[in-house]
Amino acid sequence: MAFFLLLLLLLLFLLSSLTPHSDATISMRIGVNLGQLGDNIPAPARSIELIRRLRAKAVKIYDANATVLSAVSGTGLRVSVMLPNELIPSISSNQSLADAWISSQILPFYPKARIRYLLVGNEILSNYSLSNSTWPQLVPAMVNLKRSLRSHSIHNIKIGTTLAMDALNVSFPPSAGSFRADIDQSVIVPLLRFLKSTNSFYFVDIYPYFAWASNPSFIDLDYALFEGKPSKYYTDPGSGLLYTNLFEQQLDAVFAAMTRLGFGGVPIFIAETGWPNGGDLDQIGANIFNAATYNRNLVRRLSQKPPIGTPSRPGMVIPAMIFALYNENMKGGPGTERHWGLLYPNGTGVYPVDLTGRTPESAYPPLPAATNNAPYKGKIWCVLDEEKKGVDEKAVAAALTYACGQGNGTCDAIGKGRECFRPNTVAAHANYAFNSYWQQFRTTGGTCFFGGLAVQTAKDPSYGSCKFPA
Ligand SMILES: *[C@@H]1O[C@H](CO)[C@@H](O)[C@H](O)[C@H]1NC(C)=O
Ligand SMILES: *[C@@H]1O[C@H](CO)[C@@H](O)[C@H](O)[C@H]1NC(C)=O
Ligand SMILES: *[C@@H]1O[C@H](CO)[C@@H](O)[C@H](O)[C@H]1NC(C)=O
Ligand SMILES: *[C@@H]1O[C@H](CO)[C@@H](O)[C@H](O)[C@H]1NC(C)=O
Ligand SMILES: *[C@@H]1O[C@H](CO)[C@@H](O)[C@H](O)[C@H]1NC(C)=O
Ligand SMILES: *[C@@H]1O[C@H](CO)[C@@H](O)[C@H](O)[C@H]1NC(C)=O
Ligand SMILES: *[C@@H]1O[C@H](CO)[C@@H](O)[C@H](O)[C@H]1NC(C)=O
């Protein structure tokens, strides 16, 4: 069995090295995702300038924003644009809508903007509320868009869609990788057939950080950061292949899943990867040291000549887009969500990084030491961010009302005459209510965010007879 698998992998490797992708992509391995979910980030022209300064070769956006496409025109950067999830059903059922979208969103900028990838939807197979309305429409929409491009004789824009790792049901050991049963025949097979016949890529968002952070006692941090010692390497019992890092292990799980369906020759494009440079107190391993280490090692590895590939696809070119250009302060969810940036919104690097991968580690200045690589042990409270007090009283009042409307007895203690009533200010009451809310809901996914008004603290905010739960 193992011999057969090895033979199969060898065959696939030979086949994959014959596919026509390598030449087209070898000069552009590393790009950056330009997310714009911040109220303080620079205009597109400045963002494009900053991307070029990082020596990225490509940029990916989450729409087909005209200002961005104008700004990127003539720069030589390759561009990946996205068709929003909501448009998939109508575009799949109506060719003239597909034509209209291409005409209005792409043609005005192409070819001056070097648009090379059109991604149809973002991680739609992770959103089960789209299972009836959108999943079955994905490939038909891709077909219609391809037809529109061909009608304009455009042949160098590849069409794909981004998928998260949760498209897989099994990802460990990597040789056992397989897709979820609810999508494998209905969506994935037609998708892979389309990608194969159009010489496109399987675009995957891959985050070793999440795999490690959800299981830090089982997975070695250094292995997740491409710094694993040989004693921490992993040998896949199914294939006999040796893994030196978590990234390639996850990637090979995807390759194995595709191979299982008969499409092992479709190449992979990393649509997103990265590591958070900060986060909440209770989030492990999100810091500048780890983020810099991961991203620098990633780009060095992916930029090697000749290409390294993965253990199951040795020598294969793996293009990648790092997530993201900026820390984006308007993203909801836990604190890490707002800390994926290579840059602060003012354009200053969170840490230096050369996206050509040519700078050796020794040429970078020292990094701040990591302080949160082990789980946080102490108590944590969720309070109103000091900096937001008095800044946005209306928003604080609205958040207070929201918090008090959730859970059981959330705001009893700030009621008139009760122990936390005084000081009787919106800010003091919000301080109490945010924490009371969060303590009830944190284990079920409730976050300490409130639109950016709340922060975690290790300092007990209780005073007098007013006790804050923890
Ligand atoms: C395009 O991006 C710019 C800059 O972020 C923004 O101001 C503008 O509203 C966007 N355009 C559309 C149509 O979303
Ligand atoms: C397709 O879209 C066009 C443009 O909006 C519209 O005129 C036409 O009626 C639509 N066709 C169908 C079958 O819905
Ligand atoms: C899933 O799709 C629905 C419908 O478009 C949307 O409202 C919701 O925000 C999506 N969920 C996530 C987690 O993106
Ligand atoms: C999809 O359709 C099935 C069968 O009609 C139904 O049971 C299910 O609730 C629907 N799911 C969603 C998310 O609409
Ligand atoms: C995942 O794999 C297990 C074991 O093969 C199987 O029992 C289960 O039904 C699968 N689930 C999905 C969603 O594919
Ligand atoms: C940019 O923002 C960061 C983080 O807020 C700050 O540390 C840095 O000093 C700022 N740089 C400049 C040039 O203002
Ligand atoms: C509130 O109380 C109800 C009934 O006792 C319980 O089912 C629910 O889980 C409680 N909610 C929270 C957030 O504790």
Tens digits of residue pLDDT in 3-14:
544 444 444 444
Ligand 4 atom nearest to 131, measured from its CA: 13
- Is the predicted pLDDT of residue 376 greater than 50, yes or no? yes
Q: Is the peptide bond before 42 cis (omega within 30 degrees of 0)?
A: no
Among this protein's residues, is 419 annotated catalytic? no
Which of 309, 337, 363 represents a domain boundary (last residue)?
Answer: 363
Q: Which of 124, 129, 132, 137 should be mutated for ligand 4, with most atoms under 8 A from CB?
A: 132
Ligand 4 atom nearest to 133, measured from its CA: 14
Distance from Cα 452 to the centre of ligand 7, integer Å: 26
Mean pLDDT of 268-286: 97
2 pLDDT band, cuts 50/70/90, is low
Distance from Cα 101 to the centre of ligand 1, integer Å: 17
What per-residue confidence (pLDDT) applies to 13? 44
> What pairing do the DSSP bridges indicate for beta strands 178-179 and 309-310?
unpaired
Residue nearest to atom 14 of ligand 6 (CA): 346
What per-residue confidence (pLDDT) applies to 224? 98
Distance from Cα 50 to the centre of ligand 6, integer Å: 15
Total count of domains within the chain: 2
Mean pLDDT of 347-373: 97
Domain-embedded: residue 3: no
Ligand 1: does its nearest atom lie under 6 Å from the Cβ of 65?
yes
Domain-embedded: residue 469: no
pLDDT in tens, 417-436: 999 999 999 999 999 999 99
Ligand 3 atom nearest to 127, measured from its CA: 1
pLDDT in tens, 294-327: 999 999 999 999 999 999 999 999 999 999 999 9
- The verdict on 348 and 403 lying in the same domain is no
Cβ 137 vs Cβ 92: under 8 Å = yes
Domain-embedded: residue 140: yes
- Is the predicted pLDDT of residue 17 greater than 70, yes or no? no
Cβ 81 vs Cβ 115: under 8 Å = yes
What per-residue confidence (pLDDT) applies to 392? 82
Which of 363, 391, 418 represents a domain boundary (last residue)?
Answer: 363
What per-residue confidence (pLDDT) applies to 28? 54
Q: Nearest ligand to the C-alpha of residue 183? A: 5
Q: Nearest ligand to the C-alpha of residue 87? A: 3
Among this protein's residues, is 123 annotated catalytic? yes
- The verdict on 190 and 58 lying in the same domain is yes
Cβ 61 vs Cβ 41: under 8 Å = no
- The verdict on 338 and 453 lying in the same domain is no
What per-residue confidence (pLDDT) applies to 270? 98
Distance from Cα 347 to the centre of ligand 6, integer Å: 8
Domain-embedded: residue 467: no
pLDDT in tens, 148-173: 999 999 999 999 999 999 999 999 99
Domain-embedded: residue 449: yes
For every residue of 367-412, DSSP letters joined together read PPPPS-SS---S--EEEE-GGGTTT-HHHHHHHHHHHHTSSSSTTG
Return d(Cα 384, Cα 454) in angstroms, integer: 5
Ligand 3: does its nearest atom lie under 6 Å from the Cβ of 126?
no
What per-residue confidence (pLDDT) applies to 369? 98
What per-residue confidence (pLDDT) applies to 18? 40
Q: Which amino acid is at 139?
A: V
Give a three-class secondary structure readout of 281-315: CCCCCCCHHHHHHHHHHHHHHHCCCCCCEECCEEC
Residue nearest to atom 2 of ligand 5 (CA): 169
Return d(Cα 229, Cα 30) in angstroms, integer: 26
Write out residues with Cβ below 6 Å of ligand 7: 407-408, 440
What per-residue confidence (pLDDT) applies to 103? 98
Q: Which amino acid is at 360?
A: P
- The verdict on 391 and 278 lying in the same domain is no
Distances (CA, A) of 55 to 31, 34, 117, 293, 354: 9, 14, 20, 18, 6
- Is the predicted pLDDT of residue 446 greater than 50, yes or no? yes
Domain-embedded: residue 369: no
Q: Nearest ligand to the C-alpha of residue 34? A: 1
Mean pLDDT of 208-226: 97
Cβ 280 vs Cβ 336: under 8 Å = yes
- The verdict on 300 and 433 lying in the same domain is no
Mean pLDDT of 182-203: 98
387 pLDDT band, cuts 50/70/90, is confident
What per-residue confidence (pLDDT) applies to 439? 97
What per-residue confidence (pLDDT) applies to 19? 41
- The verdict on 318 and 436 lying in the same domain is no
What per-residue confidence (pLDDT) applies to 7? 45
- The verdict on 386 and 329 lying in the same domain is no
Domain that holds residue 272: 16-363
Ligand 7 atom nearest to 408, measured from its CA: 1
Which of 363, 391, 421 represents a domain boundary (last residue)?
Answer: 363
Dihedral through CA 26, CA 164, CA 5, CA 24, nearest 10? -10
Ligand 6 atom nearest to 346, measured from its CA: 1
Question: What is the average pLDDT score of the chain?
Answer: 94
What per-residue confidence (pLDDT) applies to 6? 46
**pTM for the model:** 0.91
Ligand 3: does its nearest atom lie under 6 Å from the Cβ of 71?
no
pLDDT in tens, 243-252: 999 999 999 9
What per-residue confidence (pLDDT) applies to 391? 72
Mean pLDDT of 37-65: 97
- Is the predicted pLDDT of residue 22 greater than 70, yes or no? no
